[in-house]
Amino acid sequence: MAELSKNIRELKSILYGNGESEPVTEACVQLTQEFFRENTLRLLIICLPKLNLETRKDATQVVANLQRQQVSSKIVASEYLEANKDLLDTLISGYENMDIALHYGSMLRECIRHQSIARYVLESDHMKKFFDYIQLPNFDIASDASATFKELLTRHKATVAEFLSKNYDWFFSEFNTRLLSSTNYITKRQAIKFLGDMLLDRSNSTVMMRYVSSKDNLMILMNLLRDSSKNIQIEAFHVFKLFAANKNKPTEVVNILVTNRSKLLRFFAGFKIDKEDEQFEADKEQVIKEISAL
- Return mean pLDDT, the chain: 93
User: What's the rounded Cα separation, in Å, for the pair 244 and 133?
Assistant: 33
User: What's the rounded Cα separation, in Å, for the pair 174 and 203?
Assistant: 22
Question: 70 pairs with which residues across the strands?
Answer: 75
Count of C-beta atoms within a 10 Å radius of residue 35: 22
- Report how far Cα 63 is from the mean position of its chain's Cα atoms: 20
pLDDT, one tens digit per residue, over 181-236 is 999 999 999 999 999 999 999 999 999 999 999 999 999 999 999 999 999 999 99
SS3 call for 29: helix
pLDDT for 18 equals: 81
| Amino acid residing at 209 | M
pLDDT for 38 equals: 92
pLDDT for 278 equals: 84
Q: What structural domains does the chain harbor?
A: 1-155 (1.25.10.10), 168-294 (1.25.10.10)
pLDDT for 294 equals: 85
Tens-digit pLDDT profile for the chain (294 aa)? 778 888 889 989 989 988 778 888 899 999 999 999 999 899 999 999 999 999 999 999 999 999 998 888 889 999 999 999 999 999 999 999 999 999 999 999 999 999 999 999 999 999 999 999 999 999 999 999 999 999 999 999 999 999 999 999 999 999 999 999 999 999 999 999 999 999 999 999 999 999 999 999 999 999 999 999 999 999 999 999 999 999 999 999 999 999 999 999 999 988 888 777 788 889 999 999 999 988
Whose CA is closest to 252, among 262, 260, 242, 241? 260
pLDDT for 5 equals: 85
pLDDT for 71 equals: 87
pLDDT, one tens digit per residue, over 171-187 is 999 999 999 999 999 99
User: What's the rounded Cα separation, in Å, for the pair 76 and 67?
Assistant: 8
